[in-house]
Structure 1
Amino acid sequence: MWRSVFRCISVNPVLGQRGMSHSCLAGKVAIVTASTDGIGLAAARVLGRRGAHVVVSSRRRANVDRAVAALQREDIRVTGTTCNVGKSQDREKLVQTALDQCGGIDILVSNAAVNPFFGNILDSTEAVWDKILDVNVKAAFLMTQLVVPHMEKRGGGSVVFVSSVAGYQPMPALGPYSVSKTALLGLTRALAPELAQSNIRVNCVAPGIIKTQFSSALWQNKEVVEEFMKQTSIKRVGEPEEIGGVIAFLCSEDASYITGETVTATGGMNCRL
């Protein structure tokens, strides 16, 4: 049987060339929001190492400059600009920067998220919900809406939303944030069939507990980590680069037949709605 499989691969130019090379994204332009630290920076780094020109962004200029310098030291083609995705003028500036500096847009990684609330969900206010949904959900959609026409001009593209295991299993004291991450699972499913006709794939990644500054309140809490370790098969906290690799895969031609899906990268936690 294996002899037949290897024979098939050797004569099929598509199957035979499917390994993800270091230049598999050469010529592509990738916007990554909230990409000066954590998962966003890791995604930009992996995309850049595989040939993409990455456009990184953050609300603070000092963070942008630091990330750009770090990526340039690795010989990654990178452009950086400030962007608060909750503001329409900033979203438009980010897209225009990619067009002016890179000539087009092929990939959007929507990573930006906020969590201004910690506590009983019934104590959350309207202002909390407005902030979380504006940044975590609405801005993700509006960024996609902005980039789609430019992806269409280049014959297609890829959108990846960064959700969370909390989208499947709401975390204690993180109710509104968890709900926003569940919404991204639905947004992925809603957009995928709409954009498939334009050769634009829409997927999502749902990380577990990852060692980032954003999630430090979780992985630095011994009791929280011990509880999560009971639910995982891989008994450790994840690293940002491990999520960056999943994102790069979803943006590559190796994932050309995947759309509307959420990849859970949780160390083996059981994730279902």
Structure 2
Amino acid sequence: MSLENKVALVTGAGAPSGIGAATAHKLAEEGASVIITGRNAERGEQVASDLAAFGDVRFALVDLGDRKSVAKLIDAVGSVDVLVNNAASYRDSLGPVLTQTVERNAESWETNIQAPFQLVAGLVPGMIERKWGSIISVSSIASMLAMPGMATYGAQKAAIDGYTRGWAAEFAEHNVRVNSVAPGSIDTEAVITEMGGEEAFQKLRDQAAITRPAKPAEIAEVIAFLAGDKASFITGQVIVADGGRVIK
């Protein structure tokens, strides 16, 4: 298996129907020992239990909006070979700009930007020492397209793409690769709710060449590919998986 004897950390995997859980499933199938994080202990433990049939999957209760909580996670996990920055907060970061404030946006900036930075700063030294590592951040096509009500979220994801390119340039000499995956419409309950319900979400789907939403497992396949040595010559890239939304 391509990730045998590797340890993977997947943030924001506490929802059974989300990209994080699907990614943990796929990485475990590829042989990795997987640590998933979430803010709901009961739900996260259940996801880990459900995925145990596919490999070694453990849950860590973490609030990625709290820097002390992230620091404790770094200390607890120790060596990590694959880091998937999947967790995202939509809290107060969607909607008209004039309804937002710096204070209301603080939590989403912490989760979406500060936590990935903190995890990379804490975990990459071990990857450099072992001369192997793969970091994949889940971005969004909102970083590339002008979307009303998504300026703040798009800016956060654009920052992640900027980190991806910068980190890739810094860590390449140590055989640590860094990439992002930018999904389009994803068929999860959380996304549909945040987008304003099924009718509003369908309008987004219709803007792509493939007018159905992606399944979380389809995005997980891309992440798993980037995680392993089959993608050994790919770094600093933002891989768009959006059913052709950007090309339209």
Name the TM-score class by shorter chain. over 0.9
Structure ID, larger Rg: 1
Matched AA of 1:31: L
2:7 pairs with 1:29: yes
Q: CA deviation at 1:271?
A: 5.7
Residues 1:132 and 1:224: Cα distance change in structure 2 (over 3 Å): same
- What is the SS of the residue equivalent to 2:26? helix
- What is residue 198 of structure 2 aligned with on the other side? 221
CA contact (8 A) 2:8 2:81 kept: yes
Q: Deviations over 1:39-75 (max 9, x none)?
A: 1111111001110000011112112211111011x23
SS of the counterpart of 2:174?
Answer: coil
- The question of whether the paired residues in 1 share the 8 Å contact of 2:6 and 2:80 is answered with yes
**CA displacement 1:238-270 (0-9 Å, x = unmatched):** 110001000000001011001100001001112
How far is the alpha carbon of 1:227 from its aligned partner? 4.3
User: Residue 168 of structure 1 contacts residue 271 of structure 1 at CA under 8 Å; is this kept in 2?
Assistant: no
1:88-128: CA deviation from partner (whole Å, max 9, x where unpaired)? 232222223323xxxx2100000111112242112210113
- Deviation track 1:199-229 (CA, whole Å, cap 9, x = no partner) reads 1101000010101232022384314423431
Deviates more, 1:216-225 or 1:257-266: 216-225
Q: What are the ranges of 5 or more consecutive residues in structure 2 without an aligned counterpart?
A: none
* TM score, norm. by length of structure 2: 0.93
The equivalent residue for 1:95 is 74
Distance 2:56 2:200 in 1: 41
Between the aligned partners of 1:112 and 1:227, the Cα distance in structure 2 is 22
Equivalent position amino acid for 1:133 in 2: W
1:56 to 19, 36, 47: 36
> Matches of 2:147 and 2:7 in 1, distance apart?
35
Aligned-partner residue type, residue 47 of structure 2: A
Q: What is the one-letter code of the residue matched to 2:83?
A: L
Q: Is the 8 A contact 1:188 1:203 kept in 2?
A: yes
SS at match of 1:65: helix
- Calculate the TM-score normalised by the size of structure 1: 0.84
**Pairing 1:46–2:22 present:** no
Alignment-derived partner of residue 149 in structure 2: 173
> Could you tell me whether the CA contact under 8 Å between 1:203 and 1:260 is conserved in 2?
yes
**Corresponding pairs, count:** 244
**Identity rate, percent:** 34
Q: Secondary structure in 1 aligned to 2:121?
A: helix
Segments of structure 1 that go 5 or more residues without pairing to the other structure are 1-22
The alpha-carbon deviation at position 155 of structure 1 amounts to 1.8
Q: 1:139 to 1:170 in 2, by over 3 A?
A: farther
SS in 2 for 1:134: helix
Q: Confirm or deny: 8 A CA contact 1:209 1:219 kept in the other structure.
A: no
- What secondary structure sits across from 2:90 in the alignment? coil
Residue 49 and residue 151 in structure 1: after superposition, are their counterparts in 2 closer, same or farther (change >3 A)? same
Q: Decide whether aligned partners of structure 1 residues 271 and 62 sit closer, same or farther in structure 2, where only a CA change above 3 A counts.
A: farther
Given that 2:65 and 2:108 are in contact with CA atoms closer than 8 Å, whether structure 1 keeps it comes out as: no
Q: Counterpart of 1:4?
A: none
Which range moved further: 85-94 or 146-155?
A: 85-94
The answer to whether residue 46 in structure 2 is matched with residue 66 in structure 1 is yes
